[in-house]
Structure 1
Amino acid sequence: MYQEKIINPPSGYLTFALFLALLGAAIFCFVTQSFIWGGCLLAFNFFLVLPGLIINNPNESKVLTLFGKYVGTVKTDGFFWVNPLTTKRKVSLRANNLNGQQLKVNDKLGNPIEIAAVVVWKVNETAKAIFSVENYMQYVNIQSEAAVRHLANIFPYDHAEGEENSITLKDGAEKVSDLLEVELNERLSRAGIEVLEARISHLAYAPEIASAMLQRQQATAVIAARKLIVEGAVGMVEMALEKLSEKGIVDLDEERKAAMVSNLLVVLCGDKHVQPVVNTGTLYN
Structure 2
Amino acid sequence: MENEKSIKPLSGYGALLLFLVLGATCVYLGIQEYIAACVIVALIDLILLSGLIIINPNESKVLTLFGKYSGTVKADGFFWVNPFTVKRKVSLKANNLNGQQLKVNDKMGNPIEIAAVIVWQVNDTAKAVFSVENYVQYVNIQSEAAVRHLANTFAYDNMEDESAEVTLRDGADQVSEMLEKELNERLFRAGIQVLEARISHLAYAPEIANAMLQRQQASAIIAARKQIVEGAVGMVEMALARLSEKNIVEFDEERKAAMVSNLLVVLCGERAVSPVVNTGTLYH
Which residue does the alignment assign to 1:225?
A: 224
Question: Quick one: structure 1 residues 40 and 51, their matched pair in 2 at CA, closer, same or farther if it must change by over 3 Å?
Answer: same
Measured in 2, the distance between the counterparts of 1:278 and 1:160 equals 46
Task: Tell me, yes or no, if structure 1 residue 187 matches structure 2 residue 186.
Answer: yes
RMSD: 1.3
Report deviation, 1:161.
Answer: 5.8
Pick which of 138-147 and 204-213 moved more.
204-213
Which residue does the alignment assign to 2:211?
A: 212
Measured in 2, the distance between the counterparts of 1:148 and 1:215 equals 27
Task: Tell me, yes or no, if structure 1 residue 33 matches structure 2 residue 16.
Answer: no
What is the identity, as a one-letter code, of the residue corresponding to 1:75? K
8 Å contact kept, 2:64–2:71: yes
Within 5 Å, which residues of 2 pair with 1:1-285? 1-47=1-47, 49-160=48-159, 163-285=162-284
Measured in 1, the distance between the counterparts of 2:201 and 2:20 equals 58
Measured in 1, the distance between the counterparts of 2:86 and 2:196 equals 33
What is the identity, as a one-letter code, of the residue corresponding to 1:116? A
Report deviation, 1:89.
Answer: 0.3
Question: How many residue pairs get matched?
Answer: 284
Could you say what secondary structure the match of 2:189 adopts? helix
Question: Quick one: structure 1 residues 41 and 162, their matched pair in 2 at CA, closer, same or farther if it must change by over 3 Å?
Answer: closer
Pick which of 203-212 and 56-65 moved more.
203-212
Report deviation, 1:80.
Answer: 0.5
Unpaired segments ≥5 residues, structure 2: none
Could you say what secondary structure the match of 1:105 adopts? strand
What is the identity, as a one-letter code, of the residue corresponding to 1:45? D
Report deviation, 1:249.
Answer: 2.5
Measured in 1, the distance between the counterparts of 2:123 and 2:164 equals 38
Report deviation, 1:100.
Answer: 0.7
Question: Quick one: structure 1 residues 256 and 221, their matched pair in 2 at CA, closer, same or farther if it must change by over 3 Å?
Answer: same
8 Å contact kept, 2:155–2:164: no
Runs of 4+ in 1 over 3 A off after TM superposition: none
8 Å contact kept, 2:111–2:205: yes
| Percentage of matched positions with identical amino acids | 72
What is the identity, as a one-letter code, of the residue corresponding to 2:171? G
Q: Please give the TM-score of this superposition, normalised by the length of structure 2.
A: 0.96
What is the identity, as a one-letter code, of the residue corresponding to 2:128? A
Report deviation, 1:252.
Answer: 1.9
Report deviation, 1:72.
Answer: 0.4
Report deviation, 1:152.
Answer: 0.6
Could you say what secondary structure the match of 1:211 adopts? helix
Report deviation, 1:165.
Answer: 4.6
What is the identity, as a one-letter code, of the residue corresponding to 2:94? A
8 Å contact kept, 2:108–2:161: no
Report deviation, 1:230.
Answer: 0.8
Post-superposition Cα deviations, 1:236-285, rounded to whole Å, max 9, x if no partner, equal 11222222222333222222122111111111111111111111112332
Post-superposition Cα deviations, 1:186-234, rounded to whole Å, max 9, x if no partner, equal 0000000000011111111111111111111111111111111111111
What is the identity, as a one-letter code, of the residue corresponding to 1:36? A
8 Å contact kept, 2:111–2:204: yes
Measured in 1, the distance between the counterparts of 2:25 and 2:247 equals 122
Could you say what secondary structure the match of 1:61 adopts? strand
Post-superposition Cα deviations, 1:27-50, rounded to whole Å, max 9, x if no partner, equal 222223222222221110112x11
Measured in 2, the distance between the counterparts of 1:195 and 1:102 equals 20
